[in-house]
Amino acid sequence: MTARKVRHLHTAIRDDIGDLITHRPLPGASIDYLDPYLFLNHHGPQTYERDNKGLPFGPHPHRGFETVTFILDGSLAHSDSGDHDSIINAGGVQWMTAGRGLVHSEISPEAFRREGGRMEILQLWINLPAELKMTEPRYTGLQADELVQVDLDEERGHMTLIAGDFEQQGRTWRGPIDTPTTTFMSMMTVKQGSLIQLPVPEDHEIFCYVVRGNIMISEQAIRPCHLIEFEQEGDYVEIRGSGDATLLFGHAPRLKEPMVSHGPFVMNTREEIEQAVSDYQNGKFGGLSAG
């Protein structure tokens, strides 16, 4: 077995959206695309006062990829043109496969706008292969207690398993979200002094973003708000906790396909983008009123 080495560290850039504190590591100054990962926004942490406007993400379309939203603190109200509605609280996750097209809204629930409170949210976009670009849209929203919890390194680490399988000491855990691909996704916490080894198929690209705290990989110290790009050789990742830390860790097959993006649409050709724009303008994604 061979450990993956760090190829590059990508620092998240500060790119606030109005009064919403936002750091974005992907795309960023040193990376455009980490196949199949398209985009990550890290909103917060911040505290909203009473009678606030909340999150600004009213109705907007998507086609050709998946959005995964991690609610670390606060709450999030989702609704979409596929008649999916939910309010997910701290520790929960939303997974939406836009496929052939959806209009959705992600805003703060009425209670949060009225009372205020702490908020921290991550949203990751994952590209779909050409054969699944026009798949039927679907959505899953799960609360914290519906996710799978796995202790690591004799409780010096902890994994919240969201999608995919994880094997440890002869036992297999399966994440509760069923995805159309073989994507593995988790949130992890590690304590100082921990040593975590995570298997990764050699044909998979790793997504590892440090939300808070400090870790060590390949003898490199890694601070918060950094995306780690790994070398492609190797079949596991070794993470050392140099302090208590929280990170987003996943992996998925590299698509190695042409990609053309235009705002909320990600397809394989310019013609497919033009069709997506036309379909949206002609109401083929369905409708959704402002929340």
Percent of the chain at pLDDT above 70? 99
Q: What is the pLDDT of residue 243?
A: 85
Q: What is the pLDDT of residue 289?
A: 56
Q: How far is 198 from 220, CA to CA, in rounded Å?
A: 17
Q: What is the pLDDT of residue 169?
A: 86
Q: What is the pLDDT of residue 131?
A: 98
Q: What is the pLDDT of residue 234?
A: 95
Q: What's the full length of the chain, in residues?
A: 291
List the chain domain ranges: 7-253
- What CATH class has 7-253? mainly beta
Q: What is the mean predicted confidence (pLDDT) over 76-86?
A: 95
What is the DSSP annotation of 28-77?
A: BTTBS-BTTEEEEEEEEEEEEPSS-----EEEEEEBSEEEEEEEEESEEE
Q: Is 60 marked as binding a ligand?
A: yes
Q: What is the mean predicted confidence (pLDDT) over 197-218?
A: 96
Q: Which H helix or E strand runs over 193?
A: none
Q: What is the pLDDT of residues 7-50, one digit of tens each?
A: 999 999 999 999 999 999 999 999 999 999 999 999 999 999 99
| Structure-block tokens of residue 39 | 């985009």
Q: How far is 189 from 212, CA to CA, in rounded Å?
A: 9
Backbone angles phi, psi at 153, to 5 degrees: 50, 55
45 preceded by a cis bond (ω within 30 of 0): yes
Task: Report the chain's mean pLDDT, rounded to a whole number.
Answer: 96
Q: What is the pLDDT of residue 225?
A: 97
Q: What is the mean predicted confidence (pLDDT) over 70-86?
A: 96
pLDDT band at 216 (very low <50, low <70, confident <90, very high): very high
pLDDT band at 184 (very low <50, low <70, confident <90, very high): very high
Q: What is the pLDDT of residues 237-274, one digit of tens each?
A: 999 998 899 999 999 999 999 999 999 999 999 999 99
Q: How far is 227 from 208, CA to CA, in rounded Å?
A: 6
Q: Is 106 marked as binding a ligand?
A: yes
Q: Is 104 marked as binding a ligand?
A: yes
Reply yes or no on whether the pLDDT at 291 is more than 50.
no
